[in-house]
Structure 1
């Protein structure tokens, strides 16, 4: 069961995306991550096989960031010749160096970061560029000048849309008022940003879900499927455009896609 016929609008950006997106932090970084189990960064052959599998499953949304180690550098060559098949999301604001994150929300850094991402990803335009928040969402959006800089990038044709990967309701709402998209945490354990999702649904804006499976920590009572329960929660929200899942396990990817497809079809049938 694939996602090919289940693509949906990414808000009012004009882009259409699969309901699941492929997160790529595990292609570029194995330090400072919050997964329950350790993992090895896949080599190029395994990474390419994963990307090909994702595309065959109907996934066309890929999520990366400068803070994901060497993810962008690897994706450029791996996606060579396939650019038209993917909606690429990247970010500005957070860097990850020598095992530590640091943040810079200045307009000058945002421009340097974007130009570097374009070069790494071997493209002349990134579909969606998000500010990678440190949690001070309102201060970033109101005081740093970075959101105005992203609007300028859009006017210059270097990005197609912009938004915030934030951590607060107030930040998410402001990001949607002034931009195209908010990326929010929403899962079985954390639903504090639901107001942002509801706002997007009523205003035609885009929502991407991060940590839909609670970074691999989703759990329920014995006999219950945490993946299905998670997707029933996420895709029961009309404002959700796509949920980003960061697996590098081919079986998990196939199961996630099949479960998402089944949940969305069941949900659609109930609405008829």
Structure 2
């Protein structure tokens, strides 16, 4: 069985080592207002536990959650009991999801409240990576809201190991890396506009997480080309990429993604 064991990579200069794929958990907590082509049922605790066990077995140590992912954080707390040290946990601040609607608050007070709530829900005293969940106004948020200053304080207090931005623009990504530790960017076969952020990260030892890694351009690929493999060849061909977040709840998809990523990374060494 192909796994990611032994393929961990440094996450910028944070001192964290992360698996090349991370498990996204929006589908553990929320089935409204999510942009997936097919419907799905939120897994029950038994299925969720099996998925997390499989991820660990496959060599995944990175787990991505957020307050905006419905009940994801509060479910992960009990599910990860006794195995906190096995995981690098990513959560977010800034976006709330209530009654089927997203709303945003980047104020210092809300940032602190949100982070304290995440610590409680996740049953931990430190969150490894905290990202600002941008609404798209990346630069204005980083410059004017006070959210980054608050995250820097929380880092000094030992509640956060590293912080950054999950943004939508090149300018935001670059500013996030200049003033923080990491960024989460969209990069896939269809969308490569944020590549300058990856380039900057590679040059300055900053951490990069990829979102929407498999928003694969199936249509643009020739017959016989595996879109997952082509996606990972693109991603892991860039020295700035630390890890790509895969948001599947299907054990077969997870195993296939891991085997493909492992083959691509081992092949490129």
Query: What's the TM-score bracket when you normalise by the shorter of the two chains?
Result: over 0.9
Is 1:171 aligned to residue 172 of structure 2?
A: yes
> Quick one: structure 1 residues 148 and 218, their matched pair in 2 at CA, closer, same or farther if it must change by over 3 Å?
farther
Is 1:33 aligned to residue 30 of structure 2?
A: no
Paired residues for 1:169-208 under 5 Å: 169-208=170-209
Paired residues for 1:1-272 under 5 Å: 1-214=2-215, 218-219=218-219, 220-268=221-269
Q: Distance in 1 between matches of 2:122 and 2:33?
A: 23
- Length-normalised TM-score, structure 2: 0.98
Runs of 4+ in 1 over 2 A off after TM superposition: 216-222
Q: Distance in 1 between matches of 2:111 and 2:179?
A: 17
Cα drift, residue 258 of structure 1:
0.4
Q: Distance in 2 between matches of 1:122 and 1:218?
A: 40
SS in 1 for 2:6: helix
Contact 2:190 2:217 in 1 (8 A): no
Q: Distance in 2 between matches of 1:218 and 1:163?
A: 31
Q: Distance in 2 between matches of 1:22 and 1:222?
A: 29
Task: Say what the alpha-carbon RMSD is for the aligned residues.
Answer: 0.8
Cα drift, residue 224 of structure 1:
1.1
1:170-218 CA deviation, whole Å, 9 max, x = no partner?
000000000000100000000000000000000000000000001x775
SS in 2 for 1:175: helix
- Length-normalised TM-score, structure 1: 0.97
Q: Distance in 2 between matches of 1:171 and 1:74?
A: 31
SS in 1 for 2:96: strand
Contact 1:36 1:217 in 2 (8 A): no
Contact 1:173 1:196 in 2 (8 A): yes
Cα drift, residue 56 of structure 1:
0.3
Q: Distance in 1 between matches of 2:223 and 2:31?
A: 30
Contact 2:24 2:246 in 1 (8 A): yes
SS in 2 for 1:102: strand
Contact 2:229 2:260 in 1 (8 A): yes
Gaps of at least 5 residues in structure 1 are none
Q: Distance in 1 between matches of 2:217 and 2:76?
A: 27
> Quick one: structure 1 residues 78 and 217, their matched pair in 2 at CA, closer, same or farther if it must change by over 3 Å?
farther
Cα drift, residue 222 of structure 1:
2.7
Cα drift, residue 267 of structure 1:
1.1
